[in-house]
Chains A and B, each alone.
Chain A
Amino acid sequence: MNFATPNGFNLDDSGRRMVVDPVTRIEGHMRCEVNLDSNNVIRNAVSSGTMWRGLEIILKGRDPRDAWAFCERICGVCTGTHALASVRTVENALGIKIPNNANIIRNLMQATLYAHDHLVHFYHLHALDWVDVVSTLKADPKATSALAQSISPWPNSSPGYFSDVQAKLQRFISSGQLGPFMNGYWGNPAYLLPPEANLMAVAHYLEALDFQREIVKIHTVFGGKNPHPNWLVGGMACAINLDGPMAAGAPVNIVQLNLVSDIIDRTIKFIDEVYLPDLTAIASFYKGWDFGGGLAGKNILSYGEFPGKANDYSNNSLLMPRGAIINGNLNEIHDVDLTDPDQVQEFVDHSWYTYPDEAKGLHPWAGVTEPNFVLGPKTIGTKTNIKQLDEDAKYSFIKAARWRGQAMEVGPLSRFTLGYAMGIAEFKDPVDRLLTNLKLPLAALFTTLGRTAARGLEASWAAHHMRRFFDQLMANLAAGDLATANTDKWDPSTWPADAKGVGFAEAPRGALGHWIHIKDAKIESYQAVVPTTWNGSPRDPSGSIGAFEAALLNTPLADPNQPLEILRTLHSFDPCLACSTHVIAPDGGELISVKVR
């Protein structure tokens, strides 16, 4: 059957169906099905979130000051970003203002998360889509060294170094126990790097695995641990003490600050001298592989992030801007208002939930979620052994989030595209430099490769902003401002009986919104619409498809039995499924049993 979607894509489900379940190297559980035509080109794509935890049901009736800890456990990969959105949401509802230092520390922690999360994503979740581990055995270490030294001053680049790494890989592979590399797609013709570039990248895979644990120590200083540092409604709990006999036992003192400063320097160096050069090198070999665009450059959304001024969440304050672009018109930036009932809405007619009227979307403050695990009539298999989903019916635990009715893409590429369209130099210049280096037009940005490149550019942006935030903090401290928390409204007796709030963040993966209703000092309802709700959205009542599905279309598979290109494009979004499948039933009501029609 051929079908033209309202958002401009042609679907054809007549060809051979291919199922990828589980999609690995992501957070959580996800399934993908595609139809391939006779040339092994993807002509229909179906992405399904295959887990549900019901976190927002669990939040009902609890103390709003505790909500950040529950929300933080929505995701341990983008750890902290849900907690940040949550404390902002509660502060918005209750009119709580935070001190400057708390705002700066939160910005620093969020930028730290970007740097860490993007680095780990690139090397440990995404690199194996571009890099053939087994091919490294054919590399000439001298040529690898020459390549590495031609693109970066990073010191681990001698022929001996790469020869050692190659020897390690040789022995590992020849041991017969391939561990996480078992059954990989090694030798697939869609791998385009020469052996030397593969060896360089695998060496950096290992270096990045060892280095990433350093970055998060910044969270440990200010939040006590990572993953899942501690946050606080009204500021941060990490009191600062720089003088006197008790400073050594205080949460933040000069020793801890020195550690943070040192880690920032090392993070900048690693990202600028390893991550970005690797990204450019890999892109130079793949620049002809221009698939995976989908909604990129067409329909994009960002809520904005990093308030330059404490308690000011307007675009005047946000260092990373808020806005929406639709239909690819980069000359018109639409304002985004999370309180407007007509803007952010969620639909469930293709999701495993039920609404009284599934033709309509609901704003999160009015959100209804009642699980309804129903498989459509064209499903192949049984309830507990699904061979093929029926995408004409309900097929995912992810709701379909829409902005003014439009499917949108969110994430680093959307943020950079928005910054580019607004002419902000710190976003536009790095994009232009990269495109010039690679001799590519702007359109090349709106691809799988562009999505991956934007994440790398953003990691560098974040690392340099870590330094900026740290310097701001030190200037504040030097001026005698030590405050980290505002407790004026800590006591629930100071709260109104009824309050609604909305808070947002730009998570590493994209736009994140939390909506709360507080009644009699308890959570009456809580709703989160997360990045992968946008990107991984199923079809909506109009038939529009989401960003994952759109991006997979028209991509050829080099080997129709290996999902390498599917993984490459899905991973370019950095999917987070635990985030996207959580939703609330306002009454915590009974769960409805499955019916296979």
Chain B
Amino acid sequence: MTPAMPNIQTFYEMMRAQGTSRRSFLKFCSLTAAALGLEPLYASQIAYAMETKPRLPVLWMHGLECTCCSESFIRSGNPLSSDVILKMISLDYDDTLMAAAGEQAESILNEIPAKYPGEYILAVEGNPPLNEDGMYCIVGGQPFVDRLKAVAANAKAVIAWGACASWGCVQAARPNPTNAVPIDKVITDKPIIKVPGCPPIAEVMTGVISYILTFNQLPELDSRGRPVMFYGQRIHDKCYRRPHFDAGEFVQSWDDEGARAGYCLYKMGCKGPTTYNACSTIRWNGGVSFPIQAGHGCIGCSEDNFWDNGPFYKRLSYVGAGLGIEATADEIGLTGAAVAGAGVVVHAGLSAIKQHNRKKPEPPAAPKGDQS
């Protein structure tokens, strides 16, 4: 159980205090449950959690990155990023959004871990470069990597936002001039949730936060540290163009008749068959579209080392389709299915990431309390 933090309001108290009716609050909980793919009855459990849990301090640090993860985060529609920032969590440090700068900003990185040891989340966007004693990314006159380790030391858990923090991403692509490394190379004693993608989908980011907040535990992770609920299936498995793949109907050239008919982009280099992400199910920016729907193949941006698995327009020479759509990343990895064209075995081996298996929530009771 989370220790009592009497000076922190709960999410529910905050919403009520801000004029949200209990009816609206419960509706919000139902929407959150739906967004997480949970049965409607879990809405009351979410409501219970939000009535009793304090707002969670979150420290969001930036290393070498491009800020696309922050930009994606603020695109979230359910829940709204403004609700996440102002009501669900306490975003006490985020150098992209915070009012303070310099000493006034950096002191927060000392204050919050001291005030809430073991009770705050460290969210990391970007990654640390190790060459030049870490001085290819300097914050407050010091190597980012040192500050990252210091803030991680007392964190409850760590979220690795995006491909940079999870895998290394573009600055770690060959020849990786700064020796940029994923954060699990320098934070080795904390649970790390990897939320890969360049960037991750907004609702996946806020979904991960909502889940932790609601159930007070990390979501179930696969062997690479990714939440299985969002990264358990290949884009290809749920692609709306999959019937064209199965029928052998392919786009042969940009803007040809097949392109206008929405045929499969496999021959144009689409990496959907080897990419684990929720793009073809949750889609992007409120469900408007996703890369394949908009006519360009998937470039595999949530996969480890995707920059060096190209060129992007070269077709995959082997697609491990025999495993069927139920196969998770772990199963495919364990069977040794490989992308021969890229010469890289995907998902082989288990990482040392600490696994946190989500307990099945107890079947919730019917909503109770006043229905004002």
Q: Which residues of A contact B (CB under 8 A)?
A: 19-29, 31, 50-55, 57-58, 62-63, 65-66, 69-70, 73-77, 79, 120, 124-125, 128, 133, 164, 167-168, 171-172, 175-185, 206, 209-210, 212-213, 216-217, 219-230, 232, 234-241, 246, 249-252, 256, 259, 371, 373, 381, 383-387, 397, 482-485, 487, 490, 562-563, 567, 578, 585, 588, 591, 593-594
Contact = CB atoms under 8 A, between A and B. Distances in A.
B313 A177 contact: no
Nearest to B258: A239
B282 to A, nearest CB: 11
B18 A183 contact: no
A383 B131 CA distance: 13
B68 interface: yes
Contacts of A241: 260-262
A77 B175 CA distance: 25
A239 B260 contact: yes
B275 interface: no
A305 B57 CA distance: 43
Nearest to B262: A249
B189 interface: no
A123 B18 CA distance: 22
Contact of A246 (B129, B136, B262): B262
B173 interface: yes
B331 interface: no
Contacts of B55: 175, 177
Nearest to A260: B288
Given A22-B101, A250-B295, 18 more contacts: A22-B102, A23-B102, A29-B138, A57-B175, A63-B312, A63-B313, A77-B68, A167-B19, A172-B18, A175-B8, A184-B99, A232-B296, A235-B255, A237-B295, A239-B260, A482-B260, A484-B254, A578-B64
A384 B143 contact: yes
B86 interface: yes
A19 B178 CA distance: 26
Question: Chain B interface secondary structure, helix, strand, loop or mixed?
Answer: loop
A591 B260 contact: no
A43 to B, nearest CB: 19
Given A21-B140, A75-B67, A62 B295 contact: no
Bin the interface of chain B by size: 35 or more
A31 B141 contact: yes
Interface stretch (B23-31, B76-84, B355-363): B76-84
A124 B97 contact: yes
B272 to A, nearest CB: 12
16 contacts: A20-B102, A22-B140, A25-B99, A128-B99, A171-B17, A177-B90, A177-B92, A178-B92, A179-B90, A220-B288, A225-B285, A235-B254, A256-B289, A482-B260, A487-B253, A563-B101
Given A76-B69, A216-B285, A19 B102 contact: yes
A420 to B, nearest CB: 31
B294 A209 contact: no
A193 to B, nearest CB: 15
Contact of B254 (A23, A63, A232, A240): A232
B74 interface: yes
Contacts of A20: 101-102
